[in-house]
Each structure stands twice: as C-alpha cells, then as structure tokens.
C-alpha cells in the first residue's frame, strides 16, 4: 500500500479521533459484531430436517423491513450508485438489513475469505458478508455426503459447469471496511436467476439498466452475452473513450469473483446478462455490481494505518507499565 492520499486525510483524522474509543471498546465492537444484522442471520445451529422457511426463520432472527437507513443519502447531482438499495458508504448493519429485506428467505453469513490482505493487529475487522436464499435442511448419511463430494470432483475434473443457483434465486456479496464496529460498504455484487418461463428480453433488461444508471461508458455484446459499464473518476466525473482510464476502471459484478481497488478510479458500476440457451434473446441470469475503487482503497489504507497506530500505542503503554511494575532480574 502507498502512503495515504491527501484527499483522504479527513477520514484518517476521524479514524484517529476514535482510536481511544476503539482501544477501550474493542470488546464492545466484538459484541456489536456478534449481535449485528450479519450475525443475526448466522447459520442455524439446530439439527434435523427443516423446510427452507424454518431454516430462514432460525437464521434471520428479528428483521424489521424496510431497513432503517441513517447514512447520508446520495447527492442529487451524483450518479446512481446502488444495487437493489445497497450502496457504498452504508454501514455494515444497514447493508445487511437491506439485503435481508429483499426476500423473506434471504440469510446472511460471513464470507469464507476476506479478499483484502491487510494487517489488523489482532483486531476483528468485518470485511463484508455473503447472502443467499435459505434451502431445506436435510440430514444426510456419510455415504450420501461422500457420493456428493465425488460427483462434484468428477464434474470439476471434466470442466463441467456446476451451477449453485436455480431459477428464481439470487445471491449477494458485500465488501466492507473500517475500524471494528464502524465498517462501511465499499463494494456490492448481486446475481439473479430469472424465474423459469418468465425470462425477460435481454433488450428490456438493458433498457431498464440504462433507465436507472444512464448511458453506459461501455456496452458490448459477444456470443449473446451483454456487458455494460458505468465508470467515473475519483472526482465523480464520467470517464469517456478518450480518457486514459477508459480501459483501466473495471467493475466487480460477480458475487464469487474478486475485487480491485485503485486510487485512480472512482465509482464503477457493471452489469452482465447471460442468454437462455433455448432462446438467446431471453435472459437466463444477470449480475450487477457497484464498487467505489478509490474510496475503498483509501479506507483500507486509513484503517490499516489507524490500527497500526493503535498497536503502537498499546506497545508503548506496555513498555511504560513494564518500566514501573516489572520485577528486576536476579543477577
């Protein structure tokens, strides 16, 4: 990581201003994480067979919809920057509840990997969450589990596409960053598979996206696939074909894909539409994502530097205490 950019000094100052609170309240931050919306929809601990509705009820806890949003709203002259209500700048809890409110069967869980390599100095930074619709819980024998694992390995070794989604389902990936208990959204991606026999025209999906986000920076078609990108620089200016950033600022729209944060790019929104094999004019599924590349980059740097300062203060206090209270060695 490079030294923190000057434009983000105010945010770093705010983080430093809260360092004492974070230092004294690291346990409360952990408790908050444990009782937050993300934790409220943790995996159910119950055993035995259960319907999808029962699994969702166990995992979601008490969810009040619509989600309560207190974060600053988008400026009137700023580009539209949300995916089904989730936008950069939201708190972790606001984003989690917004996602949960998209479907009564939606459940949220911590991601298997954070994706952002940074030093947290022993602190717990919630780097986001994933979400998908609850499915029935079926107790399986060890033989059934082994057979499923073998089938999966055979499929992967044969390069067969293994789908984890069914028509009518959707899934999310949301990335967050900030001091413990103060994490905010820097990226959100969603994948939706359209209901069988209710697949929309690809042209209509593209038009709906244009109506929401405006004229795309890029719009491409290849082998029936449709790609759309809306890209802005860190100052919020639309990137044009003549800009050196035109081929540099890419979206992150696959919930199972990675993210890239560059100080040179600002808000980037993307959409991908895949056609139905039986009729290439109809959409089978789509992915949409929004990422604040420069904002995310700056927040990662600021968070890591603040936590480093936090750790340095802890070590300094430890040295002071040792100088006062440590036993002298026997010589």
**Per-residue pLDDT tens over the stretch 262-303:** 999 999 999 999 999 999 999 999 999 999 999 999 999 999
Can you tell me the distance from the alpha carbon of 41 to that of 105, in angstroms, rounded to the nearest whole number?
11
Reference 270, options 253, 294, 254; nearest CA is 253
- Indicate if the pLDDT at residue 7 is higher than 60: no
Q: What is the mean pLDDT of residues 119-145?
A: 91
Do 190 and 256 touch, CB atoms closer than 8 A? no
- Rounded Cα distance, 196 and 179, in Å: 43
Position with higher pLDDT, 250 vs 148: 250
Q: Give the DSSP letter of residue 246.
A: T
Output the CA–CA distances (angstroms, integers) from residue 63 to 101, 131, 184, 276, 292, in the order listed. 8, 15, 20, 35, 28
Q: Phi and psi (nearest 5°) for 220? A: -130, 150
pLDDT value at residue 126? 95
Percent of the chain that is helix, strand, coil (3-state, to 5): 35, 20, 45
Give 279's DSSP letter. E
State what percent of residues in the chain have pLDDT above 70: 83
- Asked whether the predicted pLDDT for residue 24 surpasses 70, the reply is no
- Element (H or E) spanning 313, and its range? helix 293-325
Kindly state the average pLDDT of the residues 75-81. 94
Give the model's confidence band at 323: pLDDT under 50 very low, under 70 low, under 90 confident, else very high.
confident
| Residue 238 confidence (pLDDT) above 90 | yes
Q: What is the mean pLDDT of the chain?
A: 86
Token pair of 50, please?
A: 């259960």
- Minimal CA–CA distance to 172: which of 92, 106, 251, 258? 106
Residue 39 has pLDDT above 60, yes or no: no
Query: What is the structure's pLDDT at 13?
Result: 54
The values of phi and psi at residue 86, to 5°, are: -95, 125
pTM: 0.82
The H-or-E segment that residue 212 falls in is helix 202-213
Q: What is the pLDDT of residue 139?
A: 86
User: What pLDDT, on the 0 to 100 scale, is given for residue 264?
Assistant: 97
Q: Where are the alpha helices (DSSP H) in 18-164?
A: 19-24, 26-35, 37-40, 52-60, 92-100, 142-157
The whole-number pLDDT of residue 160 equals 63
Q: How many whole angstroms separate alpha carbon 84 and alpha carbon 278?
A: 28
In this predicted model, which residue has the larger pLDDT, 26 or 236?
236
């Amino acid at each position: 990581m490079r030294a923190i950019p000057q434009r983000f000094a105010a945010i770093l100052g705010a983080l430093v201003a809260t360092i004492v609170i974070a230092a004294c309240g690291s346990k409360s931050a952990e408790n908050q994480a444990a009782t937050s919306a993300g934790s409220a929809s943790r995996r159910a601990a119950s055993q035995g067979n259960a319907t999808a509705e029962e699994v969702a009820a166990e995992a979601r806890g008490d969810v009040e919809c619509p989600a309560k949003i207190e974060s600053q709203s988008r400026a009137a002259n700023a580009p539209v920057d949300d995916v089904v209500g989730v936008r950069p700048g939201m708190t972790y809890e606001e984003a989690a509840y917004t996602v949960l409110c998209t479907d009564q069967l939606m459940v949220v869980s911590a991601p298997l990997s954070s994706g952002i390599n940074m030093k947290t100095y022993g602190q717990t930074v919630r780097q986001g969450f994933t979400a998908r619709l609850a499915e029935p819980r079926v107790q399986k024998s060890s033989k059934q589990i082994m057979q499923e694992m073998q089938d999966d390995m055979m499929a992967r070794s044969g390069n067969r596409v293994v789908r984890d989604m069914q028509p009518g389902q959707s899934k999310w990936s949301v990335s967050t960053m900030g001091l413990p208990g103060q994490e905010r959204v820097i990226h959100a991606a969603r994948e939706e598979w359209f209901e069988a026999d209710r697949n929309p025209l690809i042209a209509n999906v593209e038009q709906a996206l244009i109506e929401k986000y405006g004229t795309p920076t890029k719009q491409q078609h290849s082998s029936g696939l449709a790609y759309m990108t809306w890209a802005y620089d860190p100052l919020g200016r639309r990137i044009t074909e003549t800009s050196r950033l035109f081929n540099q600022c890419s979206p992150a729209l696959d919930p199972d894909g990675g993210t890239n944060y560059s100080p040179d790019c600002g808000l980037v929104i993307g959409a991908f539409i895949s056609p139905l094999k039986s009729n290439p004019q109809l959409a089978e599924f789509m992915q949409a994502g929004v990422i604040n590349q420069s904002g995310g980059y700056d927040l990662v740097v600021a968070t890591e530097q603040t936590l480093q300062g936090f750790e340095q203060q802890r070590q300094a206090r430890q040295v002071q205490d040792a100088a006062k209270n440590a036993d002298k060695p026997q010589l």
